[in-house]
Structure 1
Amino acid sequence: MGGWTSGDLQAEFERRLDDLLAECCPDWQAPEPLSGDQRLVAFRQRNAKRTQLGDVLTARPDVAVAAAGRLLDVIACDEDLSRNRQLIEPLVTAVGRRTVQRHLISVIETGPEHKKVCAMHAWYWSQVTLVYESFQDFDARRPTPASRAAAADVADLRGQYRIACLNAFVACQYVPTRERLADGFLLVDEYYPPHLRDLVARALAIAEADPHRYKNLLARQDEEIGLDQIGSAST
């Protein structure tokens, strides 16, 4: 369990993984764990299960479609900032980016605080890939028309995500969790409707009261709208 949360998600995450694996590939068995620290053994077992399920989803999009709701619940419990993409990316391919991102926003809006952070981490891999045909295009921030259009198609969801993270940040009272939530939004009035300016001011006051902890939030002036790729890539 990371120090950023006062909750516990590992048991729920593994239970949900086990339920899906039992249905999707009932004959699969996790590799025999190597001896060693119990926490490391458990960590490796979860990784093996996630990888197996991700491989099934990639090979069989129909499975991802049929289990989409339950997969989204698994993703909202996944604390791994990198390996979580093994489930997110095939699900986006199978059911569409909007479906996945809408669910992540709903978790940030209404879920328990530790799941809000997992949903925010998952958002990263759910984003559009902005494709640049050359380094010159990248330096000039000229993505291909197709990837630019894909980013524009979910601009409304980026706005909802930003507001959800802002609300979650202000409401959160557990400082390590609040620090993680600070990665999901920025403190620039122009990005918010007028009725939320007071909320932005409250978030700014929180950040200014602890400027070292929230230095990145205080410095952030532009919103990330997608992942960057130089050369061909899917959007």
Structure 2
Amino acid sequence: MNLMPLPGRATGDGFPHCLAELLELCRVHLPARTAEAGESEEDQRVVLRGALGNRYSDYPDLPEPFFAALVRAAVHDPNPSFNRQFVEPLRRAFGARRTQEALLEVLATGTNPERAGAARAWYWATLEPLDDLQDRWNRAALREFVANDDLDVRRWVLPGLTLDPARYPAELHPLVAEAVHLARTHPDGYLRHRVELQGADPEV
């Protein structure tokens, strides 16, 4: 089965501000690594990549003000591939646990666009898996998928949502069944396609 492209990706209205905030932090704390950035998003990403590092280079130690700024950029970046540019230095400088806990907090308390952004960023944050936090994410994401009828949230939560009842305590098994039924009967074609791709148990 081929994966249907995710339709209608939401744009991050706050993302330009996040880029500007990070660029200013780099100029203050990492001036030797920060070149002059042009006005385009692409130019700004290139400058930040040089300052913050990329997957082929060492990541610098970063002072505390970078933590919240990187979380915001990772969450507001509308691109699920490019957001790795912010998650990787966040994870390397401040640790996988703190990074994952921050995304869990956004999933629990953020706006709907922020919740969707946390789900996009979670993939890169868990390249260094922590079982207890993954269990917390599974339970929080399951509840969010069922209770939150925002389509963008559901589209981004579902790909990382574990639908195996064995991964949950018995009291959550009915919620797993509800999530599977919701996705299979949803008017949105992507959700219907994605739940089958994830191999949800038809008897769940």
Matched residue, 1:30: 36
Q: 1:50–1:84: structure 2 CA closer, same or farther, 3 Å change rule?
A: farther
2:190 aligned with 1:213 = yes
2:181 aligned with 1:175 = no
Letter in 2 for 1:17: L
Instruction: Name stretches of at least 5 consecutive residues in structure 1 with no aligned partner.
Output: 34-41, 130-150, 223-235
CA–CA distance in structure 1, aligned partners of residues 132 and 146 of structure 2? 22
2:19 aligned with 1:14 = yes
Q: 1:175–1:195: structure 2 CA closer, same or farther, 3 Å change rule?
A: same
CA–CA distance in structure 1, aligned partners of residues 113 and 139 of structure 2? 18
Matched residue, 2:83: 84
Matched residue, 1:115: 114
Letter in 1 for 2:14: L
CA contact (8 A) 1:113 1:177 kept: yes
Q: Which moved more, 1:184-193 or 1:208-217?
A: 208-217
Aligned-residue Cα RMSD (Å) equals 3.0
Per the TM alignment, residue 158 of structure 1 is displaced from its structure 2 partner at its CA by 0.8
Q: Give the alignment's TM-score, normalised by structure 2.
A: 0.76
Per the TM alignment, residue 51 of structure 1 is displaced from its structure 2 partner at its CA by 1.4
Instruction: Name stretches of at least 5 consecutive residues in structure 2 with no aligned partner.
Output: 1-6
CA–CA distance in structure 2, aligned partners of residues 166 and 19 of structure 1? 37
Q: Which moved more, 1:51-60 or 1:184-193?
A: 51-60
Matched residue, 2:49: 51
- Map Cα deviations across residues 59-82 of structure 1 (whole Å, 9 max, x no partner): 531x25553233223322222222
Matched residue, 2:4: none
2:196 aligned with 1:197 = no
Letter in 2 for 1:218: E
CA–CA distance in structure 2, aligned partners of residues 173 and 207 of structure 1? 11
Q: 1:81–1:219: structure 2 CA closer, same or farther, 3 Å change rule?
A: closer
Aligned residues: 189
- How many percent identity over aligned positions? 24
